[in-house]
Structure formats: structure tokens, C-alpha cells
Amino acid sequence: MAKKQKEKDTKQAKPARKGMGMAGRILFIFLIFACVLFRATALLVCVGMLPTIAAFMVTSGYYRAKAYAIGILNFAGCTPFILKLWGSGNDFDSVIDLLTDPIVIIVMYMSAVGGYMLNWCCVSFVSSLMYEKGKMRIKSIEKRREELVERWGEEVTGSIPLDPDGFPLESDKASLRRKF
């Protein structure tokens, strides 16, 4: 029996993914071409999106939503400076001027902090909401249990020992009274 279960488990187990899939490879090639064609913009985006890169390297699985929130707001913080770069000629002198300005770096990185804070607030709010919903569910279950006990008796609680047929076992005193 255990052998059949083990065989069933091995059939259901999926092999771990190794490397990028086809879509990831195509995206990577596209990014390489974009970096070559738009070198100045790529440099600004790479420096500006460092918090997002770090968030994706650190997080995995369930916590990946945090990295997405950081990345989206981080990109939103980089966008005005990308547009400013494109308006000034999209050359390396403009990129160096932007990247050496501390306000530009602060705005880009603080937008990533905004993504972190947004994720933190949403997760806290949703978890407290679910906690309260669970407490209300427990109260409704307890109320329903009391109604069932009132209607059917203490046997429905499961606290009274039962015989194999499902009938309550009689206590020693009750069985002694019946014998005599």
C-alpha cells in the first residue's frame, strides 16, 4: 500500500524549472538590444531601479508581491527623469548631470520606499481584516453549537464517550443501579 502511494507521489511531482523559459530568453535578448540602442536611458534606469533589482534578488515565492510593489513605484519615480533625459538629447552628458544630482537619486529611491510602505500598509490592513473575520466566524460557530446542544442534547458536542455503535456509554453508577 505504501509502495503504491509512493509511486503516485513521484508521478505527481513536477521537476524543478531550471533557467529561463523561452519567454524569458526573448525578453533578455530584447533588453540587450534596447540597452545597446538606448545606452543613456539604460544607464539611468539601471541606477534608478537598483532598489527593485535588490528586492527581486532578496524575495521569492509569496513575498514576490512586495518586489512588484517596490518595482512599480520605483519605475514611477524614474519616469520623470527618463522624460527629462529624452528631452535633453538622450546623451551621456545629460545622464551624468542627472545622476550626480542628489535630488534625482533621492526621488527615485524614495519612490521605491513608497512601494515598500504601500505593501506594508496593505498587508497589515488585510491581515487584520482577515483576523477579525476569523474571530466573527468562531463566534458564529460557537453560537450554532450552543443551538445544537440546546436542541439535541450534550451528546452532539463529542465530549461524552460513545460505544462503537455511537451510543453514549453509561457511567459506572448508572450501570450499577440497573443491575440491582
Residue 46: which domain range? 39-125
Whether 74 is covered by a domain: the verdict is yes
Percentage of the chain beyond pLDDT 70 is: 83
Whether 51 is covered by a domain: the verdict is yes
Q: What is the pLDDT of residue 177?
A: 44
Handedness of CA 42, 48, 52, 58 (dihedral sign): positive
Amino acid of residue 93: D
Whether 117 is covered by a domain: the verdict is yes
Q: What is the pLDDT of residue 24?
A: 76
Whether 73 is covered by a domain: the verdict is yes
Whether 88 is covered by a domain: the verdict is yes
Q: Which residues of the chain have pLDDT under 50?
A: 172-180
Whether 109 is covered by a domain: the verdict is yes
Whether 22 is covered by a domain: the verdict is no
CA 170 to chain centre: 52
Complete DSSP assignment for the chain: -HHHHHHHHHHHPPPPP-S--HHHHHHHHHHHHHHHHTHHHHHHHHHHTHHHHHHHHH--GGGHHHHHHHHHHHHHHHHHHHHHHHHTTS-HHHHHHHHT-HHHHHHHHHHHHHHHHHHHHHHHHHHHHHHHHHHHHHHHHHHHHHHHHHHH-GGGGS-S-B-TTSPBPPPHHHHHHHH-
Q: What is the pLDDT of residue 163?
A: 79
Q: What is the pLDDT of residue 132?
A: 96
Q: What is the pLDDT of residue 20?
A: 65
Provide the number of structural domains found in the chain: 1
Whether 163 is covered by a domain: the verdict is no
